[in-house]
Amino acid sequence: MTRTLITGASDGLGRALAYALADRGHELIVHGRDATRLAEVAERTGAQAIRADLSSLAEVRRLAAAVDGELDVLVNNAGIGFGPPGEARQLSADGYELRLAVNYLAPYLLTQLLLPRLKRSAPARIVNVASIGQRPFDVDDPMMLRGYDGTEAYRRAKLALIAHTFDLAEELSGTGVTANCLHPATLMPTTMVRQAGTGEIDSLERGLAATLRLVVDPELEGVTGRYFDREREARALDQAYDVDFRKRLRELTESLVGARA
């Protein structure tokens, strides 16, 4: 039986993915922040439920520690959207820019902590839910102390997550663990989209189909280091392929995670 951890599974895409995988016989571990909604998902799917606030690195570590046994699939889906227009810059529990912390640092750390379990279960898959909305990441101002904007912060963090996915795929070469990322759909009817007030474009079902494919499609066995726009392989922003940038980003990330770990 395939054992899968989904972060952000109490709402939106993560919740739909949990239901779809449960129907396919996956043994699930589901994460969320809202205890009531998380319990609903756990009851419907028979999953182990772990509540954690991913804006805290300590909570990320607690989440990882609560995952026992082997792990076949990790879906890093949890995230914070643009926020309401004009929202002031916010900080995480560790004093980091909030969207950087939740959308990038949390999945980075969680993945690193769970890699031993994934390697033991190989072939295994890591799926990072990113976005087509990407902006160049400023390594010299990662906390956006200058000219903060919630949409820009979200897009920079997603670019960092994509770049990390490419690094991770290279690091895991030969282990049987693959790492891919995707833009599941554009402005699905989810809580984060409603909060941003941007309107909706794609259906939740479209995002689910694209994400589910990366988790279960046998044709993607061994495929790694790719970025997908929905169900089509695509090219991310050029910076994500820049080896020098990725090295600087990795060094920065390790210093941020290590300083607060």
**pLDDT for 230:** 94
Q: How much is the average pLDDT of 159-166?
A: 98
For the chain, how many helices (H) and strands (E)? 9, 8
Q: What's the CATH code of the domain at 40?
A: 3.40.50.720
Tens digit of each residue's pLDDT (9 = 90 or more) over 225-244: 999 999 999 999 999 999 99
166 — pLDDT class (breaks 50, 70, 90): very high
Q: How much is the average pLDDT of 69-85?
A: 93
The answer, yes or no, to whether residue 200 has pLDDT greater than 70, is no
**pLDDT for 261:** 39
Q: Which of 148, 154, 227, 241 is catalytic?
A: 154
Q: Cβ atoms within 10 A of the Cβ of 259, count? A: 11
Please state, rounded to an integer, the average pLDDT across all residues of the chain. 93
Q: In what order do the strands lie in the sheet with 124-129?
A: 48-51, 27-32, 3-6, 73-76, 124-129, 177-183, 227-229, 232-234
Burial of 206 (0-12, 13-18, 19+ CB in 10 A): middle
Structure tokens at 23: 């129907």
* Amino acid, res. 170: E
Containing domain of residue 102, as a range?
A: 3-260
Q: How much is the average pLDDT of 34-56?
A: 98
188 — pLDDT class (breaks 50, 70, 90): low
The answer, yes or no, to whether residue 196 has pLDDT greater than 50, is no
What percent of the chain clears pLDDT 70, i.e. is strictly above it? 93
Told to judge if 154 belongs to the known catalytic residues of this protein, a careful annotator would answer yes
Structure tokens at 156: 């920079």
Tens digit of each residue's pLDDT (9 = 90 or more) over 101-145: 999 999 999 999 999 999 999 999 999 999 999 999 999 999 999
The answer, yes or no, to whether residue 85 has pLDDT greater than 90, is no
Q: How much is the average pLDDT of 170-183?
A: 98
CA dist., res. 157 & res. 100, Å (int) = 5
Domain count along the chain: 1
Q: How much is the average pLDDT of 135-156?
A: 97
**pLDDT for 186:** 77
CA distances from 65 to 81, 110, 125, 256 (A): 27, 10, 19, 20
**pLDDT for 201:** 56
Structure tokens at 36: 């009531």
